[in-house]
Amino acid sequence: VAPNLPRNARCDYALSRLRDRLLLWRHKSTTLAGKAIILQAVCLPVLWYQLAWVAPDTTTAAIIDKMILQFINGEPPVIGAGAQGHRLLHQSIVFAPKHQAGLGLKPALVTWSARHRGHSLRYMQAALTTSPVPAWSSPSMAVVANAYAPWGNFADLAFADPSLPRIRRLLKSKAVPDRFKFMLKYWFDIRVGPSTLPAPSPLVHEQPLWSNQFLPVDSCSYIEKDHKMAHSIRPDDGQD
């Protein structure tokens, strides 16, 4: 999804694309296990990638859950209100673990929130890792730091006291995108102390979060860089 789309347009686009994929795969499998695999391996991973930097909300998550239930029960997935008829499987079965005789799927809000928390940690690691090379997180760091000015830079904000009035105002400011408000709130919750530092890793600083199979550019450069870095730190195998 284009980075300049507003939140509502981004969510509408992601939901419409999910509906199209569910319609495409609707008749590809007739078994419940096959439908669950299609959701877990094909349809939902693309959705979570498209919503990677959208803060979770209950309304959109409820729509996603409804479309999942429609797909599992053989109904045509719709975004708005639609007739559901008589469903064979209740959501308590669809979203139950396999060891409890469920399909092993999870509610959208649970997965969405967990992935967003992971993105938040990765972003904070990249943002707070010192390096002379600009990090992929630098542009968005500048946006947040500009909203925090003149109190300090992004690192000062990361280690600030969240109970301060100016920090509370910042987390409600329209100058900070919602995804970064979610990220900062989560960071303040899990931070164990004012001296907490992220785990140092050159890959965290240099390799973008979105470097995966859905990256719209060739990802071989990142793989090649990883191999070169691993080779450079490999021991000399006993040679003097």
Per residue in 19-76, pLDDT (tens digit) is 999 999 988 888 888 999 999 999 999 999 888 878 888 999 999 999 999 999 888 8
Q: What is the average pLDDT across 148-155?
A: 80
Query: What pLDDT does residue 146 have?
Result: 84
Q: What is the mean pLDDT of residues 184-201?
A: 62
The rounded distance, in Å, linking the Cα atoms of 185 and 167 is 10
Q: Which two tokens stand for residue 43?
A: 């349809």
Say what the pLDDT of residue 224 is. Answer: 47
Which pTM was predicted?
0.67
Q: For residue 143, give both structure tokens.
A: 């946006």
CA distance from start to end of the chain: 52
pLDDT, residue 203, reads: 46
Q: Per mean pLDDT, which range of 6-20, 85-99, 210-224 is the poorest?
A: 210-224
- pLDDT value, residue 227: 45
DSSP per-residue string spanning the chain: --TTS-HHHHHHHHHHHHHHHHHHHTTT--SHHHHHHHIIIIIHHHHHHHTTTS---HHHHHHHHHHHHHHHTTPPP-SS-------SS-HHHHTS-GGGTS-----HHHHHHHHHHHHHHHHHHHHHS--SSPPTTHHHHHHHHHHHTTS--HHHHHTS-TTSHHHHHHTT-TTS-HHHHHHHHHHHHH--STT--PPP-HHHHHS-TT-STT-SS-THHHHHHHHHHHHHTS--TT--
Q: 117, 64 in Cβ contact below 8 A?
A: no
Tokens of 27: 């008749």
Q: How confident is the model at residue 123 (pLDDT cuts 50, 70, 90)?
A: confident
pLDDT band at 126 (very low <50, low <70, confident <90, very high): confident
Distance of alpha carbon 8 from alpha carbon 54, whole angstroms: 10
Sort residue 89 into left (φ over 0), alpha (ψ -120 to 50) or beta. Answer: beta
Interatomic CA distance for residues 24 and 18, integer angstroms: 10
Query: Which pLDDT does position 237 carry in this prediction?
Result: 46
- Cα 3 versus chain centre, distance: 14
Which distant-in-sequence residues (6+ apart) come within 8 Å of 53 by Cβ?
A: 119, 179
